[in-house]
Structure 1
Amino acid sequence: MIYTVTLNPAIDYVVQVGNFKAGKVNRSKADYKEAGGKGINVSRVLDRFGVSSTALGFVGGFTGKFITDYLTSKNIHHQFVELKEDTRINVKMKSEAEETEMNGVSPTIEDNHYQELLDQLKGLSSDDIVVLAGSLPQSLSNSAYREMVAMLNEKGVPTILDTSGAPLTEAIQASPAFIKPNHHELADLFDEEIINDEDIISLAKRLHTEQQIEHVLVSMAKDGAIYVGSAGVFKLSAPEGHAVHSVGAGDSAVAGFIYKWQETNNAREAAQFAVAAGSATAFSKTLCTKAEVEALLPQVVVQKVE
């Protein structure tokens, strides 16, 4: 079973306005609400690929109930730890000129809540996969992901990690099986400047060899991605298209890699599908479908570098 862990979920409230004017009354042209958070997005995309998963993490209050009801309506399994405080709401405002986000305050995660989640993970086996994705609530230590990866590694459970900043810096010390930094996050990890592909490959190789991370997929937006792992080094081009929906593109790439890796056990094909999935979501108004990914797949040219 695939388990996705979202420690900091949210209701994503997406509002479309015309010509936004600060300090004035703006009326929305359309809006919608959906369950958000990187791990939850991975579960949603996997479901669209026909793959079952169970969503774990923390939810609370009426906003938390919206998230669980939303996932139930999509037939996505979930087993969240219940909090007393409300789950946050993130507002994403799309105007004609730009997209603006305002993320809500995270609820407090008490020690007993965190321990309950760890107890859930302790019951998993090497037949499972765990996706750890998204930011951390302020009440959790930056070492939370590192602790989870280390614990799961001891049980032989492969971990897929998608986060950034201090939590990423901490977690790579425990050697997750897969990480997906963008090239800016990769530069920050080593506090080095990236000028070209050779720099990206050099730093990604250090993650692969020194930190023993089996799969490193570095995303570069319109410039595609670079994969470094046991299968070698590959440069992948990005499909051409108009980006209309940035939210969930990275999560779709993670889901795409998992889906194809489980199907073929081929890292090259998994990376190719991941790039196509991320682009398919970016080109759509919502998360990608399998048909949309497969339509873009031929455009993702894979060049073996090493």
Structure 2
Amino acid sequence: MIYTVTFNPCLDYIVGVEDFQLGMTNRTCSEQMFAGGKGINVSIVLKNLGIESTALGFIAGFTGEEIRRKVEKMGITSEFIQLENGFSRINIKLKSIDGTEINGTGPSIGNEELERLLKKLDTLKKGDVLILAGSIPASLPDSIYSDIMERLEEKEVMIVVDATKDLLVNVLKYHPFLIKPNNHELGDIFGVEIRERDQVAPYAKKLQEMGARNVLVSMAGKGAVLLAEDGSVYESPAPKGKLINAVGAGDSMVAGFTAGYMQKGSYEHAFKMGVSTGSASAFSENFATKEEVEAIYKTL
């Protein structure tokens, strides 16, 4: 079974406003609301690809109940832990001004509630996949990802980590199955600027030497690079298509790679699935469908 963890899930409230003006009353011309958070995004895309997963994390208040309802309505199994206080965050995304958003803070997570999640994770076994994605709420220790991996170290669970800088570097000693920095995040770790695919391999190799088994680097319009644990290096330019919505493309790549590896145990297939799925989501208003992924896969 695949499990995704979203520590701070949200409702993404996506609005379009024509001729937005500061200091004025603006009215929406379009509105959408989705359950969000990186782990939930991965679960949604896995479901679209026909692969089951269980979504874990914390929810609170009426917004938390709506997150649960939306996730389960999509046919995804959820085992969220209900917090007693606060409410799950709402993120406002202004569609008509690219990149403009206001993200909520989210509820505080107590030690007892965290322990309930950890006990759920204790039930994972060899062959299960755990996907840890996204930032850590301020109420949790920065070491939570590495704490989880240390706790599961003897269970031979395949762990995927999609996080940034220290959060990512600190888990490498526990040998995650896959990490997925983008080129900017990879450059930040080593204090360099990475713009082209041929610059990726030396730094991705350093992350392998630090403990990562497979390093998948996304580069938006420049494509992607995979350094696999068997020594193979795979590169791909970005598939051709019109960028419509880049939000969630990285999560989609993680879902596609995971799905591809679960299907065939092949890193080449997993890489192509990752690139195809990330691109299909970027070329769509919503997350990639299986048909959209298959169409792009054929072009690689």
TM range (shorter): over 0.9
Matched, 1:216 2:215: yes
Which TM-score applies when normalising by structure 1? 0.94
Q: Structure 2 matches for 1:53-68, cutoff 5 A?
A: 53-68=53-68
How many Å apart are 1:196 and its aligned residue?
A: 4.2
Residue 93 in structure 1 maps to residue 94 in structure 2: yes
Which letter does structure 1 place at the counterpart of 2:214? H
Which residue of the partner structure matches residue 113 of structure 2? 113
Deviation at 1:244, TM superposition (A): 1.1
Aligned pair count? 298
Structure 1 segment 223-262 matched on structure 2, within 5 A = 223-231=222-230, 232-262=232-262
Which residue pairs with 1:129 in the alignment? 129
Amino acid at match of 1:216: V
Q: Corresponding residue for 1:143? A: 143
Cα 1:196/1:75, change in 2 over 3 Å: closer
The answer for the alignment partner of 2:19 in structure 1 is 19
TM-superposed CA distance for 1:174, in Å, is 2.4
CA distance in 2, matches of 1:286, 1:228: 29
Distance 1:212 1:178 in 2: 10
Structure 1 distance, partners of 2:219, 2:194, is: 12
Counterpart residue number, 1:9: 9
User: Using the alignment, how far apart are the partners of 2:31 and 2:191 within structure 1?
Assistant: 40
Amino acid at match of 1:230: E
Question: 1:88 is matched by which residue type in structure 2?
Answer: R
RMSD over aligned CA atoms reads: 1.3
Contact 1:152–1:159 under 8 Å retained in 2: no
SS of aligned partner of 1:131: strand
Q: Which has the higher mean CA deviation after the structures are superposed, 41-50 or 192-201? A: 192-201
Where does the alignment leave 5 or more consecutive residues of structure 2 unmatched? Answer: none
Kindly tell me: are residues 142 and 24 of structure 1, through their superposed partners in 2, closer, same or farther at Cα, counting changes over 3 Å?
A: same
Q: Distance in 1 between matches of 2:212 and 2:159?
A: 10
* Paired residues of 2:197 and 2:223 also in contact (CA < 8 A): no
> Is the CA contact 1:134–1:162 (under 8 Å) kept in the aligned structure 2?
yes
Give the 3-state SS of the residue equivalent to 1:33 in structure 2.
strand
Q: Which runs of 5+ in 1 are unaligned?
A: 301-306
* Superposed CA offset, 1:264-298 (max 9, x none): 11101111110110111011001110100111113
The TM-score, its normalising length taken from structure 2, stands at 0.96
Determine if contact 1:238/1:276 at 8 Å carries over to the other structure: no
> Cα offset for 1:212?
2.6
Counterparts of 1:245 and 1:193 in 2: how far apart (Å)?
25
C-alpha deviation, 1:114, in angstroms: 1.0
- Report deviation, 1:165: 3.3
Task: Give % identity.
Answer: 42
